[in-house]
């Protein structure tokens, strides 16, 4: 039974570096959701894995450097990789390279569909946004996904491979309070009373956790819907205490938010079904410093050149860059690959790359 309870708004799919490629009874290739995990992992890990994965496909196409696998800490088992691809190829009547291309394309398609769930399906145009990609696999596929969605820029943050952990360390203390209470959207007195009670509860919870009340910041949203309708949207509460004027502002914002998500608005009454209060307190954060410029040239960051199969854009001789030697102000164009100990950034032909003052990689996507 579907149960409507508040949860962290994440959209996840079973698609990553360890996602297993498999062929169904209709001779169609799939990628995921089953994963090889870390043990035994992709076939190339050499730990006994016999299934071809997205990582194996990227290795087979030269997108990942087999001689710099996991920063050179792991010797890629290319024999096991080729055997895994050959097993799939035998079922499909395809070569290893064709299978690897298919795996990458299907993985990209899976990720594009997930991105559409949090953008197009919610009324947002991806072309209005910059995409940030991180982890081990995000930078490898990010530029291709950005192009598919019409995104103009993709950013790979410095330390992309540990960006999630860094984000956790930088996150504030936060508690979310959801209170269900039905009221008319113009009942500013009822909303003010509910807001006060919930605010007092939130501050008391933080004080019990040894966080002074003055260190707690409060922001709020209401869940609202058209009267007697089922679906609701969240709308930010206007600043200050609720008044007749601010409630009119809230109702106008509701109509806009509802139309953005569901493509229409109604000439009907609006009702509030609950309050969502966010209480937060800042924690000490690491200071982000600009990187020094040594005067090195971008040519000094070049490791070499090799043929790379881009899966969707053919085979090209790509310039290989050492990610640890890239400095602010450097720029270059694809086809290229940036190799970092924790991740690989694949740059399609025609895309331009620049490094900002903090070492983040900006990829301008060719239209």
Burial class (CB in 10 A: 0-12, 13-18, 19+), 168: exposed
Per-residue confidence band for 70, with pLDDT thresholds at 50, 70 and 90 = confident
190: three-class secondary structure by DSSP: helix
Convert 311-349 to b/e letters by CB count within 10 Å (16 or more is b).
beeeeeebbbbbbeebbeebebebbbbbbbebbbbbbbe
CA distance 170 to 340: 23
Averaged confidence pLDDT in the chain: 92
* pLDDT at residue 182 in the model: 93
Spell out the SS3 assignment of 170-182. Answer: HCCEEEEEEEEEE
CA distance 51 to 286: 41
**pTM summary value:** 0.84
- The structural domains of the chain, with segments of one domain joined by +, span 19-124, 131-165+290-364, 172-281
* pLDDT at residue 186 in the model: 87
Q: What are the residues facing 23 on neighbouring strands?
A: 29
- Alpha helices (H) along the chain: 54-60, 78-92, 96-117, 138-149, 163-170, 188-208, 244-262
For the cut 80, the answer to whether the pLDDT of residue 4 exceeds it is: no
* pLDDT at residue 69 in the model: 87
CA distance 220 to 239: 9
Is it true that domain 172-281 has CATH number 1.20.1740? no
pLDDT tens digits, one per residue of 343-358: 999 999 999 999 999 9
Torsion sign over Cα 322, 104, 166, 114: positive
pLDDT tens digits, one per residue of 225-283: 999 898 999 999 988 889 999 999 999 999 999 999 899 999 999 999 999 999 999 98
């Amino acid at each position: 039974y579907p149960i409507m309870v508040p949860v962290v708004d994440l959209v996840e799919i079973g698609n990553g570096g360890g996602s297993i490629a498999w062929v169904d009874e209709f001779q169609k290739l799939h990628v995921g959701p089953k994963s090889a995990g870390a043990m035994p992992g992709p076939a190339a890990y050499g730990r006994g894995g016999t299934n071809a994965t997205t990582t194996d496909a990227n290795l087979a196409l030269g997108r990942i450097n087999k001689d710099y696998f996991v920063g050179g800490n792991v010797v890629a088992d290319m024999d096991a990789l080729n055997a895994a691809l050959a097993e799939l190829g035998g079922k499909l009547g395809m070569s290893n390279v064709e299978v690897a291309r298919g795996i990458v394309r299907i993985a990209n398609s899976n990720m594009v569909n997930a991105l559409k769930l949090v953008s197009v399906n919610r009324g947002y145009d991806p072309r209005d946004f910059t995409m940030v990609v991180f982890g081990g696999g995000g930078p490898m596929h990010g530029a291709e996904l950005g192009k598919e969605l019409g995104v103009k820029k993709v950013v790979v943050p410095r330390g992309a491979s540990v960006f999630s952990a860094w984000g956790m360390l930088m996150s504030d203390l936060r508690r979310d309070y959801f209170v269900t209470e039905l009221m008319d959207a113009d009942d500013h007195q009822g909303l003010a009373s509910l807001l006060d009670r919930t605010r007092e509860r939130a501050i008391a919870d933080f004080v019990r956790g040894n966080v002074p009340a003055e260190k707690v910041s409060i922001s709020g949203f209401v869940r609202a819907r058209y009267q007697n309708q089922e679906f609701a949207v969240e709308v930010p509460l206007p600043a200050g205490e609720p008044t007749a004027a601010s409630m009119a502002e809230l109702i106008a914002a509701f109509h806009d938010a509802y139309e953005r998500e569901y493509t229409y608005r109604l000439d009907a009454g609006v009702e509030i079904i609950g309050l969502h209060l966010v209480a937060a307190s800042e924690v000490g954060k690491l200071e982000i410093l600009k990187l020094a410029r040594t005067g090195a040239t971008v040519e000094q960051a070049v490791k070499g050149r090799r043929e790379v199969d881009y899966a969707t854009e053919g085979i090209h001789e790509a310039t290989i860059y050492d990610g640890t030697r890239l400095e602010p102000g450097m720029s270059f164009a694809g086809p290229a690959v940036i190799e970092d100990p924790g991740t690989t950034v694949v740059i399609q032909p025609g895309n331009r790359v620049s490094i900002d003052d903090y070492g983040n990689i900006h990829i301008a996507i060719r239209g």
